[in-house]
């Protein structure tokens, strides 16, 4: 990744790795349900794991999964180069358990996902949606080079808008 180092200062007992098998999806679902209002079915998690396993990462601390990022690879119109079809990575969901936040785990998960999307799946860019009220996440994404490219009104079930943020890989 241009301008991004894969190494960030995370505690030495934290390991960022690809998800090993579908059985770990239950732990990922637990984190999703605990941390985010948007929850998905097991089959949705399983489909993302099956379709892009090299871009599905977990953070593990002493054998316990404490965070995750899951992605999808899409062929769609670029969010950056309007009206051009591109192969892009979509960060579908990322979460870290509350007691493990502010340790750069989210940043490390994002960097691993972007690296995999670029080098394993040959994606041109990456994008995500984020609640307009989620300032900590927006700040992290901006530090990673993401820019707000549009607003999706009433994107979330509760009616809140989302920023679509994107960056080239």
Q: What is the pLDDT of residue 4?
A: 39
Contact 117, 139 (CB under 8 A): no
Task: Estimate to the nearest angstrom the gap between the alpha carbon of 38 and the chain centroid.
Answer: 14
Q: What is the pLDDT of residues 20-32, one digit of tens each?
A: 888 899 999 999 9
Contact 70, 28 (CB under 8 A): yes
Quick one: CA torsion of 102, 105, 111, 117, rounded to 10 degrees? -130
pLDDT beyond 80 at 83: yes
Average pLDDT for residues 119-143, to the nearest whole number? 96
Q: State the pairing for strand pair 125-131/85-96.
A: parallel
Neighbours of 61 (CB within 10 A): 18
The region that residue 23 occupies, defined by phi over 0 for left and psi between -120 and 50 for alpha, beta otherwise, is alpha
**168 phi, psi to nearest 5 deg:** -75, 155
Q: Is 17 helix (H, G, I), strand (E, B) or coil?
A: strand
What is the C-alpha to C-alpha distance for residues 91 and 112, in angstroms, rounded to an integer? 12
The CATH architecture of the domain made up of 14-168 is: 3-Layer(aba) Sandwich (3.40)
Q: What is the pLDDT of residue 156?
A: 92
pLDDT beyond 60 at 6: no
Please, which pLDDT band fits residue 5 given cuts at 50, 70 and 90?
very low
Task: Estimate to the nearest angstrom the gap between the alpha carbon of 91 and the chain centroid.
Answer: 4
Contact partners, residue 31, CB within 8 Å, separation at least 6: 65, 66, 67, 68, 95, 96, 97
């Amino acid at each position: 990744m241009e301008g991004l180092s894969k190494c960030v200062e995370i505690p030495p007992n934290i390991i960022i790795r690809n998800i090993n098998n579908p059985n770990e999806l239950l732990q990922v679902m637990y984190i999703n349900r605990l941390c985010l209002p948007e929850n998905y079915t097991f089959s949705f998690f399983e489909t993302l794991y099956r379709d892009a396993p090299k871009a599905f990462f977990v953070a593990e601390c002493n054998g316990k999964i404490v965070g995750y990022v899951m992605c999808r690879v899409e062929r769609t119109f670029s969010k950056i180069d309007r009206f051009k079809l591109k192969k892009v990575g979509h960060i579908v969901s990322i979460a870290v358990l509350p007691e493990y936040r502010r340790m750069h785990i989210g940043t490390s998960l994002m960097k691993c996902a972007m690296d995999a999307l670029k080098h394993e799946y040959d994606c041109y860019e990456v994008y995500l949606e984020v609640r307009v009220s989620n300032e900590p996440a927006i700040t992290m994404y901006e530090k990673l080079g993401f820019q707000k490219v549009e607003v999706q009104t009433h994107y979330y079930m509760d009616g809140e808008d989302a920023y679509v943020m994107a960056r080239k890989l």
